[in-house]
Amino acid sequence: MIAAAAPAHRFAVVSDSNVAPLYAARLLSQLADIGEIAPLCVIPAGEAHKTRDTWAALTDQLLDAKLGRDSTVVALGGGVACDMAGFVAATFMRGVPVVHIPTTLLAMIDASIGGKTGVDTDHGKNLVGAFHQPSAVIIDPQLLDTLPLAELRAGLAEALKHGAIADAAYFDFICRESPSLLAEDPRRRDVLALNHVIEKSVRLKVGVVAADEREKGARKALNFGHTIGHAIEMLSGYAMRHGEAVGVGMLLEATAAEREGITEPGTAARIRNALQIAGLPVVRPAGPSATSVLQSMQSDKKSRAGASEYAVPSRIGVMAGAEAGFTVRLPDAVVAEVLA
């Protein structure tokens, strides 16, 4: 599949310290059949390492290995590996192909799809990056057998977001099937239901991205939960998983939008119930003040003229603000009340 989508003289694999010991050797041996292999590039696992320093180290490894423009970068890992490998591919030699092999549910249905790449800074998440579409995304659901259950739950938060913004029946499906999707023993999980979640979420996101690749309008809907979620994730020192933070962000943003009459009453309660069924948190970390969260949100790339913008549903499955670019303004005072 890689040879067909992104033929190259040499292949560089970017993985992380959790995934590489499990799967890198098999991938490298397969790649050796279609081209020359550059050294495996392994980055420390975790969002805290998605930085410009890591980008520089990876780029130097490719330069030291004398890779040229006839190379392809292959990402093997979760969202951090996909984001880092994508950004390296977007900038190395002014752009080489990248293929994603996501190994977490969150990466399968989110980070690997849509071409957003980038790194975090002290000012916020993903503030330095580029759009660089992958030549292929290769998803093997069996890779989830070795995924910690907490990471599987975090991926379901993103799937719930897809249902909340575009498909109420899909949202209800996830709520109904969560117990079978989250069985601790992978052999007891409903494989057909899990495959449906992956395929449905990928199709929903691809449809949105195809209509608005550079996030000028409809793609902003995918940011539901992310304005608040990114802020609380960063302020937690990335102790809170991305999916967990997005879940709490969805609940808080929907609550604030309900108070403003933008979102149908009861929507936040449905989101809370769905998160609880999936075993996800429904409160933000207690440490940072509401003021510090608001200040962090103002540095987010989604803000305009210093004011935060929110993508929120008018009800489950339908987004508000379509006529105004799929974002709405919520008063800081209301958001602060909800955060508190």
Residues forming the active site: 94, 116, 158, 205, 215, 219, 223, 226, 230, 242
For the chain, count helices (H), then strands (E). 13, 10
- The per-residue pLDDT for 136 is 98
pLDDT in tens, 287-321: 899 999 999 998 765 665 567 899 999 999 999 98
Q: Choose the CATH number for 2-145 among 3.40.47.10, 3.50.50.60, 3.40.50.1970, 3.30.870.10.
A: 3.40.50.1970
CA dist., res. 129 & res. 107, Å (int): 17
Radius of gyration of the chain from its Cα atoms, rounded to whole angstroms: 20
- The per-residue pLDDT for 325 is 87
pLDDT in tens, 248-290: 999 999 999 999 999 999 999 999 999 999 999 999 998 899 9
pTM: 0.94
CA dist., res. 225 & res. 267, Å (int): 13
Please report, for the chain, the start and end positions of each structural domain, with discontinuous segments joined by +. Answer: 2-145, 149-176+213-339
121: nearest Cα among 238, 15, 215, 16: 238
Q: Residue holding tokens 């539901």? A: 224
Is the Cβ–Cβ distance between 24 and 75 less than 8 Å? no
Is the Cβ–Cβ distance between 45 and 17 less than 8 Å? yes
Is the Cβ–Cβ distance between 256 and 334 less than 8 Å? yes
Residue 242: which residues within 8 A CB-CB, separation 6 or more?
47, 79, 106, 154, 229, 233
pLDDT in tens, 109-129: 999 999 999 999 998 899 999
What CATH architecture applies to the domain 149-176+213-339? Up-down Bundle (1.20)
Element holding 257 (H helix, E strand): helix 242-259
Q: 2-145 and 149-176+213-339 share one CATH topology? A: no
pLDDT in tens, 194-236: 999 999 999 999 999 999 999 999 999 999 999 999 999 999 9
Distance set, CA 244 to CA 189, 225, 272 (Å): 21, 10, 12
CA dist., res. 244 & res. 293, Å (int): 16
Using DSSP's 3-state secondary structure scheme, residue 133 falls into coil
- The per-residue pLDDT for 302 is 60
